[in-house]
Amino acid sequence: MDFKDNGTLSIWIYRALYGVVWLISLIPFRVGQSLGRTLGNILAVALKRRIKASLNNLRYVFGDIMSGVELIELNGRIVAHFAQMLFEVPHILRLNRTNLNRYVIFENEDALNQAIKKGRGAFILTGHFGNWELMSAAMALRFKTKGGVVVRPADFAPVDRLLTSLRSRFGTEIIAKKRAMKKLLAAKK
């Protein structure tokens, strides 16, 4: 979406979006997850053309090892997962050190703790698995160290501003995807 206004309209749209996110953050986490999965199932039916495109992408990647039924089921789970994230991400506004364990389970922290103690940087690589937005915020709270995330800026400026404010809430540096490697290598030192 091409949206050039960075003035008053953009500010009002951002504020409205932030208000919606704040309201969603009031929904209990488990209830929101359930609502998100339900929304995902509805979207999977309502947005057939877009869903068909993602199904074709899955066919391209997994067509040799998964049946058509398995691909359709996987595609449905992916759509439900993204819809669920719409209800999870707003909880970044409620996240703090006291309630962190209600949202995130940390496992195998030793390697990261050792790197932090040695003053060395570490990379944590993930794809679009789980809730990477919530994970990034939780990592910043849990390990009390500066982190960074590589992102592609959202096409719609008010949404990009909202995502940036959520992602950087606990000091995480936002690194634009373009030319990110140079910045990542410098941060590692």
Q: Does residue 112 lie within any of the structural domains?
A: yes
Q: What is the mean pLDDT of residues 8-19?
A: 94
Q: Does residue 1 lie within any of the structural domains?
A: no
Q: What is the pLDDT of residue 4?
A: 60
Q: Does residue 41 lie within any of the structural domains?
A: yes
What whole-number distance in Å separates Cα of residue 179 and Cα of residue 54? 27
Q: What is the mean pLDDT of residues 91-97?
A: 96
Question: DSSP secondary-structure letter at 170?
Answer: T
Mean predicted lDDT score pLDDT of the chain: 88
- Tens-place pLDDT, residues 14-72: 999 999 999 999 999 999 999 999 999 898 888 888 888 889 999 999 989 999 999 98
pTM over 0.75, yes/no: yes
What whole-number distance in Å separates Cα of residue 83 and Cα of residue 89? 10
What whole-number distance in Å separates Cα of residue 63 and Cα of residue 65? 6
Q: What is the pLDDT of residue 94?
A: 96
Q: Looking up tokens 């592609």, which residue turns up?
A: 152
Q: Does residue 102 lie within any of the structural domains?
A: yes
Q: Does residue 3 lie within any of the structural domains?
A: no
Q: What is the mean pLDDT of residues 141-155?
A: 87
Q: By residue range, what is the domain housing residue 58?
A: 8-188
- Tens-place pLDDT, residues 78-93: 999 999 999 999 999 9
Q: Does residue 88 lie within any of the structural domains?
A: yes
CA nearest 83: which of 128, 36, 44?
36
User: What token pair was written down for 96?
Assistant: 């703090």
Question: DSSP secondary-structure letter at 156?
Answer: S
User: What token pair was written down for 21?
Assistant: 């996110």
CA nearest 153: which of 171, 177, 135, 132?
177
Q: What is the mean pLDDT of residues 159-167?
A: 96
Q: Is the pLDDT of residue 6 over 70?
A: no
Contact 100, 138 (CB under 8 A): yes
Q: What is the mean pLDDT of residues 94-121?
A: 87
Q: Does residue 175 lie within any of the structural domains?
A: yes
> Strand, coil or helix: what is 46?
helix
Q: Does residue 174 lie within any of the structural domains?
A: yes
Q: Looking at the 3D structure of the chain, how many domains does it have?
A: 1
